[in-house]
Amino acid sequence: MDSSTSTSDENYELGYQPSPSSVDQTDQSLTDTTSCSILSADSFAYCRTNSEASAFSEHTDSFSEIASPSWRGLKSPARAALSRLGMRQHKHGMDEEVMDLELELMKERFSKLLLGEDMSGSGKGVCTAVTISNAITNLYASVFGQHQRLEPLHPEKKLMWKREMNCLLSVCDYIVEFSPTLQTLKDGTTLEVMTSRPRSDIYINLPALRKLDAMLLDILDSFQVTEFWYAEQGSMSGNSTRSGSFRRIVVQPQPQRKEEKWWLPVPCVSPDGLSEKSKKHLQQKRDCAYQIHKAAMAINSAILAEMQIPESYMASLPKSGKASVGETIYRYMYNAEKFSPDYLLDSLNISSEHEALELADKVEASMYTWRRKMCMTHSKSSWDMVKDLMSDVDRTDKNHVLAERAETLLFCLKQRYPELSQTTLDTSKIQYNKDVGQAVLESYSRVLESLAFNIVAWIEDVLFVDKTMKNQE
């Protein structure tokens, strides 16, 4: 009996505990993987949506059903000894089978990564950077897509998240840069040799993201016992998931919840409301998740800023920045002696996220249009370019002034709408990025940013319901 218990516990720790949904998830995973095996430049929307199954993750539970030994019907003292011997052999065989299955699973996953999600092997797949970014995005959707409450993540899902993220992040261990160092020989001779070290952006950001990841899981684990519960609202099929932008603006919990978040379970509290201890715990976790969100967002923005601007985006820019932003915005940006982006945004009366995102795309495009014109004006010769870089920029240049003001307006717009979806330039950078290290950091920070924001929203929902209950009294 003890051996049987230890065997089942070991299988549970390995993440292969059978579950009713495991077969459905496997079928769904195979379907989703097939549907997006060949990607083109026009089908990049997958990076902004959630899917039920991970392209990098499938469940395999078939080995958990083992046939019963034929000697189980024996009724003698020898049965106990045979049982103990059989269980030891069964456990040893089970360990080997688990290791073999995990090895085959790893072979399959990395084969898909190397093929660029093109199972035909004809070289039509996407580059490795986009493949890994897609894998991290889909893994997040598979693990957290159905998790919409303040409660601990299911142990099987948590183990799946940690195991597969470790596999995807392991590529960063081999991304290095070379730097000169001094080495002293036994005879006292000093030589300068090149040594490898982790690339600086990975060395700084990856440990920070791992820490943020662990902190978010700890926040969910802290809601094991709560004074609130959830009631289902609306209809939601077992295979459906939330889709859309990772940075979607979620309006303050109520009163527009029926229109914008009808698919989420509704938090409930007792008529007396939450205790002070529970409320304080929620507020602390909300503040912690909010800081994690800000940190992940800062890392994501920094990585996106470092990515190269695709030539296709530059080629698609309008010839005139004025045509991009429109006559009204251009007139104010050009004629105002003291430019005030806040005043301009207030006068535009932006009423929705869609309008804010559309304006951000236009301002960003005009900014790069004016910068390109400025570079064309000052690029007379290579030596003139060097002198321009060494000397102060001509701040009276029209294109330079407009580009600076456009950058200030874009920064102010993103501050006013911190959860704004990624702009056309950002999605274009992710689509055409070929740097594997940047792809890992960008996608990892993006999914952590999404999880942190969701946790803050869930906590705000509970606190709002508690406040409503007390106001009714």
Going by the DSSP 8-state scheme, the letter that residue 230 receives in this structure is E
pLDDT band at 93 (very low <50, low <70, confident <90, very high): low
Q: Residue 178: is its pLDDT beyond 70?
A: yes
- The C-alpha atoms of residue 300 and residue 444 are separated, in whole angstroms, by 9
3-state helix, strand, coil in the chain (%, to 5): 65, 5, 30
Overall average pLDDT of the 152-180 stretch: 92
Note the pLDDT of residue 91.
55
H helices of 14-154, where? 22-35, 77-115, 128-144
Q: Residue 396: is its pLDDT beyond 70?
A: no
- The C-alpha atoms of residue 462 and residue 473 are separated, in whole angstroms, by 17
Q: Tens of pLDDT along 366-385? A: 999 998 888 776 554 444 54
Note the pLDDT of residue 80.
52
Q: Which phi and psi angles does 180 have, rounded to 5°? A: -75, 135
Note the pLDDT of residue 260.
58
Non-local (6+) Cβ contacts of 205 within 8 A are 299, 302, 303, 441, 445
Contact between 168 and 56 (Cβ < 8 Å): yes
Q: Which of 47-56, 192-201, 213-222 has the lowest mean pLDDT?
A: 47-56
Q: Tens of pLDDT along 421-437? A: 889 999 999 999 999 99
Higher pLDDT, residue 384 or 343: 343
Q: Residue 330: is its pLDDT beyond 70?
A: yes
Q: What is the mean pLDDT of the chain?
A: 75
pLDDT band at 283 (very low <50, low <70, confident <90, very high): very high
Overall average pLDDT of the 451-460 stretch: 94
- The C-alpha atoms of residue 439 and residue 306 are separated, in whole angstroms, by 11
Query: Does this model's pTM top 0.95?
Result: no
Q: Residue 65: is its pLDDT beyond 80?
A: no
Q: Tens of pLDDT along 229-277? A: 998 754 333 333 333 333 333 333 444 444 456 778 889 988 888 999 9
> Domains along the chain?
309-432 (1.20.58.1310)
pLDDT band at 473 (very low <50, low <70, confident <90, very high): low
Overall average pLDDT of the 315-338 stretch: 88
Note the pLDDT of residue 398.
85
Q: Residue 416: is its pLDDT beyond 70?
A: yes
Overall average pLDDT of the 400-408 stretch: 91
Note the pLDDT of residue 469.
83
